[in-house]
Structure 1
Amino acid sequence: MTIKQDIERYYNFWFTTDKIYDTWAKKQGISINELFVLFVIAENPNTCTQQRICQKLLLPKQTVNSILLKFEKEGYVKKQPSKQDRRSKILTFTEEGQRYADGILLRLYDIEGTALYNMNPEVRTALLDGFDAFLEVLRQAFEDAES
Protein backbone atom coordinates (compact mmCIF):
# COMPACT_ATOMS: atom_id res chain seq x y z
CA MET A 1 0.00 0.00 0.00
CA THR A 2 1.32 3.46 -0.86
CA ILE A 3 1.38 6.54 1.34
CA LYS A 4 -1.25 8.09 -0.99
CA GLN A 5 -3.53 5.10 -0.39
CA ASP A 6 -2.95 5.38 3.36
CA ILE A 7 -3.88 9.07 3.22
CA GLU A 8 -7.07 8.17 1.32
CA ARG A 9 -7.93 5.57 3.98
CA TYR A 10 -7.28 8.14 6.69
CA TYR A 11 -9.56 10.70 5.01
CA ASN A 12 -12.24 8.06 4.50
CA PHE A 13 -12.05 7.23 8.21
CA TRP A 14 -12.22 10.90 9.18
CA PHE A 15 -15.12 11.80 6.87
CA THR A 16 -17.10 8.65 7.64
CA THR A 17 -16.72 9.19 11.38
CA ASP A 18 -17.93 12.77 10.96
CA LYS A 19 -20.93 11.56 8.93
CA ILE A 20 -21.85 8.96 11.55
CA TYR A 21 -21.86 11.57 14.32
CA ASP A 22 -23.69 14.10 12.13
CA THR A 23 -26.43 11.59 11.26
CA TRP A 24 -26.84 10.55 14.90
CA ALA A 25 -26.98 14.18 16.10
CA LYS A 26 -29.69 14.98 13.55
CA LYS A 27 -31.74 12.04 14.86
CA GLN A 28 -31.52 13.72 18.29
CA GLY A 29 -32.87 16.94 16.77
CA ILE A 30 -29.58 18.84 16.96
CA SER A 31 -26.60 19.59 14.76
CA ILE A 32 -23.21 17.96 15.18
CA ASN A 33 -21.87 21.33 16.40
CA GLU A 34 -24.61 21.56 19.02
CA LEU A 35 -23.82 18.00 20.11
CA PHE A 36 -20.17 18.78 20.66
CA VAL A 37 -20.93 22.12 22.39
CA LEU A 38 -23.02 20.13 24.89
CA PHE A 39 -20.07 17.77 25.28
CA VAL A 40 -17.56 20.57 25.98
CA ILE A 41 -19.84 22.25 28.53
CA ALA A 42 -20.45 18.90 30.26
CA GLU A 43 -16.73 18.08 30.34
CA ASN A 44 -15.81 21.48 31.82
CA PRO A 45 -18.27 22.10 34.64
CA ASN A 46 -18.02 25.56 36.17
CA THR A 47 -15.04 26.49 33.97
CA CYS A 48 -16.48 26.46 30.45
CA THR A 49 -16.33 29.65 28.42
CA GLN A 50 -17.26 30.44 24.85
CA GLN A 51 -13.56 30.82 24.10
CA ARG A 52 -12.84 27.31 25.43
CA ILE A 53 -15.57 25.86 23.19
CA CYS A 54 -14.19 27.70 20.16
CA GLN A 55 -10.65 26.49 20.88
CA LYS A 56 -11.64 22.89 21.60
CA LEU A 57 -13.97 22.48 18.61
CA LEU A 58 -12.19 24.85 16.21
CA LEU A 59 -15.45 26.63 15.54
CA PRO A 60 -15.89 30.32 14.74
CA LYS A 61 -17.03 32.56 17.58
CA GLN A 62 -20.23 33.42 15.66
CA THR A 63 -21.18 29.74 15.30
CA VAL A 64 -20.67 29.03 18.99
CA ASN A 65 -22.47 32.23 19.96
CA SER A 66 -25.51 31.24 17.86
CA ILE A 67 -25.59 27.80 19.48
CA LEU A 68 -25.29 29.27 22.98
CA LEU A 69 -28.05 31.81 22.28
CA LYS A 70 -30.30 28.96 21.13
CA PHE A 71 -29.50 26.92 24.25
CA GLU A 72 -30.11 29.97 26.46
CA LYS A 73 -33.45 30.65 24.78
CA GLU A 74 -34.44 27.01 25.33
CA GLY A 75 -33.48 27.33 28.99
CA TYR A 76 -30.60 24.84 28.84
CA VAL A 77 -27.60 27.10 29.47
CA LYS A 78 -26.93 30.13 31.62
CA LYS A 79 -24.00 32.53 31.65
CA GLN A 80 -22.41 33.88 34.80
CA PRO A 81 -19.50 36.31 35.13
CA SER A 82 -16.20 34.60 35.83
CA LYS A 83 -14.70 35.31 39.25
CA GLN A 84 -11.22 35.44 37.69
CA ASP A 85 -12.11 37.65 34.70
CA ARG A 86 -15.36 39.62 34.90
CA ARG A 87 -15.34 40.11 31.11
CA SER A 88 -15.52 36.36 30.61
CA LYS A 89 -18.74 34.38 31.14
CA ILE A 90 -18.86 30.90 32.61
CA LEU A 91 -21.36 28.61 30.90
CA THR A 92 -23.30 26.13 32.99
CA PHE A 93 -26.32 23.98 32.43
CA THR A 94 -29.60 24.86 34.08
CA GLU A 95 -31.33 21.94 35.78
CA GLU A 96 -33.38 21.41 32.64
CA GLY A 97 -30.25 21.78 30.52
CA GLN A 98 -28.42 19.18 32.60
CA ARG A 99 -31.28 16.71 32.06
CA TYR A 100 -31.32 17.54 28.33
CA ALA A 101 -27.54 17.16 27.94
CA ASP A 102 -27.46 13.97 30.03
CA GLY A 103 -30.25 12.49 27.93
CA ILE A 104 -28.21 13.00 24.77
CA LEU A 105 -24.66 12.55 26.03
CA LEU A 106 -25.31 9.43 28.10
CA ARG A 107 -26.81 7.74 25.02
CA LEU A 108 -23.80 8.86 23.02
CA TYR A 109 -21.34 7.53 25.62
CA ASP A 110 -23.27 4.26 25.73
CA ILE A 111 -23.04 3.86 21.94
CA GLU A 112 -19.36 4.79 21.87
CA GLY A 113 -18.66 2.51 24.83
CA THR A 114 -20.45 -0.37 23.14
CA ALA A 115 -18.47 0.16 19.94
CA LEU A 116 -15.16 0.22 21.81
CA TYR A 117 -16.15 -2.72 24.01
CA ASN A 118 -17.04 -4.79 20.95
CA MET A 119 -13.56 -4.31 19.53
CA ASN A 120 -10.86 -6.80 20.32
CA PRO A 121 -9.03 -5.20 23.29
CA GLU A 122 -5.66 -5.42 21.54
CA VAL A 123 -7.08 -3.80 18.40
CA ARG A 124 -8.76 -1.09 20.48
CA THR A 125 -5.50 -0.31 22.31
CA ALA A 126 -3.54 -0.35 19.05
CA LEU A 127 -6.09 2.00 17.46
CA LEU A 128 -5.96 4.52 20.30
CA ASP A 129 -2.17 4.26 20.63
CA GLY A 130 -1.95 4.71 16.86
CA PHE A 131 -4.11 7.85 17.06
CA ASP A 132 -1.85 9.28 19.76
CA ALA A 133 1.29 8.49 17.75
CA PHE A 134 -0.22 9.89 14.55
CA LEU A 135 -1.28 13.14 16.22
CA GLU A 136 2.20 13.61 17.62
CA VAL A 137 3.94 13.12 14.26
CA LEU A 138 1.26 15.06 12.36
CA ARG A 139 1.66 18.04 14.69
CA GLN A 140 5.45 17.86 14.23
CA ALA A 141 5.14 17.54 10.44
CA PHE A 142 2.98 20.68 10.29
CA GLU A 143 5.41 22.57 12.54
CA ASP A 144 8.34 21.48 10.38
CA ALA A 145 6.52 22.49 7.20
CA GLU A 146 5.97 25.99 8.60
CA SER A 147 9.64 26.49 9.55
Structure 2
Amino acid sequence: MDAKEAQLQYMHLYKEMDASYYALSCAQQLVPSEMDIYYAITVLGDGCRQRDICALALSRKQTINSALKKMEKQGLLRLESGKGREKHIYLTASGRRNADESVNPIYDAEQAAFAEMAEAEREQLVALTGKFIHLLQKQTAHLAPEFREKGEK
Protein backbone atom coordinates (compact mmCIF):
# COMPACT_ATOMS: atom_id res chain seq x y z
CA MET A 1 0.00 0.00 0.00
CA ASP A 2 1.44 3.38 -0.96
CA ALA A 3 1.57 6.39 1.40
CA LYS A 4 -1.48 8.09 -0.14
CA GLU A 5 -3.67 5.01 0.18
CA ALA A 6 -2.47 4.37 3.74
CA GLN A 7 -3.13 8.00 4.69
CA LEU A 8 -6.69 7.84 3.31
CA GLN A 9 -7.39 4.57 5.13
CA TYR A 10 -5.95 5.92 8.38
CA MET A 11 -7.97 9.15 8.15
CA HIS A 12 -11.11 7.10 7.46
CA LEU A 13 -10.43 5.04 10.58
CA TYR A 14 -9.80 8.20 12.61
CA LYS A 15 -13.11 9.67 11.41
CA GLU A 16 -14.88 6.37 12.11
CA MET A 17 -13.57 6.35 15.68
CA ASP A 18 -14.59 9.99 16.14
CA ALA A 19 -18.07 9.22 14.77
CA SER A 20 -18.34 6.21 17.09
CA TYR A 21 -17.66 8.34 20.16
CA TYR A 22 -20.09 11.00 18.93
CA ALA A 23 -22.78 8.34 18.42
CA LEU A 24 -22.11 6.95 21.90
CA SER A 25 -22.39 10.44 23.37
CA CYS A 26 -25.71 11.04 21.56
CA ALA A 27 -27.02 7.62 22.58
CA GLN A 28 -26.36 8.60 26.20
CA GLN A 29 -28.14 11.92 25.61
CA LEU A 30 -24.94 13.84 26.35
CA VAL A 31 -23.24 16.55 24.35
CA PRO A 32 -19.58 15.71 23.73
CA SER A 33 -18.30 18.20 26.33
CA GLU A 34 -20.51 16.60 29.01
CA MET A 35 -19.20 13.20 27.97
CA ASP A 36 -15.64 14.57 28.27
CA ILE A 37 -16.35 15.84 31.78
CA TYR A 38 -17.88 12.58 32.99
CA TYR A 39 -15.08 10.63 31.33
CA ALA A 40 -12.37 12.77 32.93
CA ILE A 41 -13.92 12.48 36.38
CA THR A 42 -14.20 8.71 35.86
CA VAL A 43 -10.49 8.55 35.04
CA LEU A 44 -9.14 11.29 37.34
CA GLY A 45 -11.59 11.00 40.23
CA ASP A 46 -13.75 13.48 42.07
CA GLY A 47 -12.01 16.71 42.93
CA CYS A 48 -10.16 17.07 39.66
CA ARG A 49 -9.73 20.57 38.27
CA GLN A 50 -11.08 22.11 35.10
CA ARG A 51 -7.56 22.30 33.67
CA ASP A 52 -7.19 18.53 34.26
CA ILE A 53 -10.37 17.90 32.26
CA CYS A 54 -9.22 20.21 29.46
CA ALA A 55 -5.84 18.48 29.31
CA LEU A 56 -7.33 14.98 29.20
CA ALA A 57 -10.08 15.85 26.72
CA LEU A 58 -7.93 18.24 24.66
CA SER A 59 -10.84 20.68 24.89
CA ARG A 60 -10.86 24.44 25.12
CA LYS A 61 -11.31 25.96 28.56
CA GLN A 62 -14.39 27.92 27.43
CA THR A 63 -16.10 24.77 26.11
CA ILE A 64 -15.56 22.84 29.33
CA ASN A 65 -16.45 25.85 31.48
CA SER A 66 -19.81 26.28 29.71
CA ALA A 67 -20.62 22.60 30.13
CA LEU A 68 -19.58 22.68 33.81
CA LYS A 69 -21.90 25.61 34.50
CA LYS A 70 -24.78 23.86 32.74
CA MET A 71 -24.17 20.63 34.64
CA GLU A 72 -23.88 22.52 37.93
CA LYS A 73 -27.27 24.19 37.29
CA GLN A 74 -28.74 20.75 36.57
CA GLY A 75 -27.46 19.51 39.93
CA LEU A 76 -25.07 17.00 38.38
CA LEU A 77 -21.90 18.39 39.91
CA ARG A 78 -20.63 20.99 42.33
CA LEU A 79 -17.62 23.25 42.16
CA GLU A 80 -15.52 23.91 45.24
CA SER A 81 -12.87 26.60 45.52
CA GLY A 82 -9.24 25.62 45.72
CA LYS A 83 -6.06 27.68 45.61
CA GLY A 84 -6.50 31.05 43.91
CA ARG A 85 -9.17 30.84 41.22
CA GLU A 86 -8.88 27.06 41.03
CA LYS A 87 -12.11 25.06 41.22
CA HIS A 88 -12.38 21.39 42.12
CA ILE A 89 -15.19 19.42 40.52
CA TYR A 90 -17.27 16.84 42.36
CA LEU A 91 -20.17 14.81 41.05
CA THR A 92 -23.42 14.91 43.02
CA ALA A 93 -25.33 11.68 43.63
CA SER A 94 -27.34 12.38 40.49
CA GLY A 95 -24.19 13.09 38.49
CA ARG A 96 -22.56 9.91 39.79
CA ARG A 97 -25.60 7.89 38.66
CA ASN A 98 -25.38 9.50 35.21
CA ALA A 99 -21.68 8.71 34.95
CA ASP A 100 -22.21 5.15 36.16
CA GLU A 101 -25.00 4.56 33.64
CA SER A 102 -23.63 6.41 30.62
CA VAL A 103 -19.86 6.86 30.62
CA ASN A 104 -18.53 4.05 32.79
CA PRO A 105 -19.84 1.34 30.41
CA ILE A 106 -18.02 3.08 27.54
CA TYR A 107 -14.82 3.32 29.58
CA ASP A 108 -15.16 -0.35 30.53
CA ALA A 109 -15.68 -1.26 26.85
CA GLU A 110 -12.50 0.61 25.92
CA GLN A 111 -10.59 -1.27 28.60
CA ALA A 112 -12.05 -4.59 27.39
CA ALA A 113 -11.16 -3.80 23.76
CA PHE A 114 -7.57 -3.04 24.71
CA ALA A 115 -7.44 -6.16 26.89
CA GLU A 116 -8.39 -8.28 23.84
CA MET A 117 -5.29 -7.03 22.06
CA ALA A 118 -1.91 -8.56 22.77
CA GLU A 119 0.44 -6.37 24.81
CA ALA A 120 2.71 -5.92 21.80
CA GLU A 121 -0.29 -4.82 19.68
CA ARG A 122 -1.33 -2.25 22.30
CA GLU A 123 2.18 -0.89 22.51
CA GLN A 124 2.49 -0.77 18.72
CA LEU A 125 -0.86 1.00 18.32
CA VAL A 126 0.06 3.64 20.88
CA ALA A 127 3.60 4.10 19.57
CA LEU A 128 2.64 4.36 15.91
CA THR A 129 -0.28 6.69 16.58
CA GLY A 130 1.99 8.89 18.68
CA LYS A 131 4.62 8.87 15.93
CA PHE A 132 2.05 9.83 13.28
CA ILE A 133 0.77 12.72 15.42
CA HIS A 134 4.33 13.98 16.02
CA LEU A 135 5.20 13.78 12.32
CA LEU A 136 1.93 15.45 11.30
CA GLN A 137 2.54 18.30 13.73
CA LYS A 138 6.09 18.64 12.43
CA GLN A 139 4.84 18.78 8.83
CA THR A 140 2.18 21.37 9.70
CA ALA A 141 4.13 23.50 12.19
CA HIS A 142 4.08 26.38 9.70
CA LEU A 143 0.26 26.27 9.80
CA ALA A 144 -0.23 26.06 13.59
CA PRO A 145 2.26 27.83 15.86
CA GLU A 146 1.41 25.55 18.81
CA PHE A 147 2.95 22.65 16.85
CA ARG A 148 6.39 24.26 16.72
CA GLU A 149 8.91 22.62 18.96
CA LYS A 150 10.48 24.73 21.69
CA GLY A 151 13.46 26.64 20.42
CA GLU A 152 12.22 26.46 16.82
CA LYS A 153 11.21 29.70 15.12
- Report the TM-score when normalising by structure 1: 0.81
Match of 2:67 in 1: 67
Q: CA deviation at 1:42?
A: 2.0
What pairs up with 1:1-147 in 2 under 5 angstroms?
A: 1-82=1-82, 85-113=83-111, 115-116=113-114, 119=116, 121-122=117-118, 125-126=120-121, 128-138=122-132, 140-141=134-135, 142-143=137-138, 146=148, 147=152
- Relative to structure 1, the CA distance from residue 13 to residue 61 in structure 2 (aligned partners, 3 Å threshold; closer, same or farther) is same
Could you tell me how far 1:107 is from its partner in structure 2?
A: 2.2
The whole-number CA distance in structure 1 between the counterparts of 2:57 and 2:134 is: 20
Cα distance, 1:10 vs structure 2: 1.2
Contact 2:81 2:88 survives alignment (8 Å): yes
Structure 2: gaps spanning 5 or more residues: 142-147
Q: Deviations over 1:69-121 (max 9, x none)?
A: 11101111111112xx231000011122111111112321344355456x5x4
What is the letter of the counterpart of residue 131 of structure 2?
V
Secondary structure at 2:42 match in 1? helix
32-41 vs 102-111, greater mean Cα deviation: 102-111
**Mean alpha-carbon deviation: is it higher for 133-142 or for 29-38?**
133-142
Identical aligned residues as a percent: 26
Do the aligned partners of 2:39 and 2:104 also contact (CA within 8 Å) in 1?
no
1:31 partner letter = V
| 1:133 aligned partner, one-letter code | A
- Tell me, which stretches of 5 or more residues in structure 1 are unaligned? none
State the 1:7 CA deviation: 1.2
Q: After TM superposition, give the deviation of residue 40 of structure 1 in Å.
A: 0.5
SS at match of 1:87: coil
Q: How many pairs align?
A: 141
Give the aligned CA root-mean-square deviation in angstroms: 2.3
Q: SS where residue 66 of structure 2 aligns?
A: helix
Q: Which runs of 4+ in 1 moved over 6 A?
A: none
Kindly state the Cα deviation for residue 28 of structure 1 after the two structures are TM-superposed: 1.1
Change in Cα spacing, 1:129 to 1:55, as seen in structure 2 (3 Å) is: same
Distance across 1 between alignment mates of 2:16 and 2:130: 22
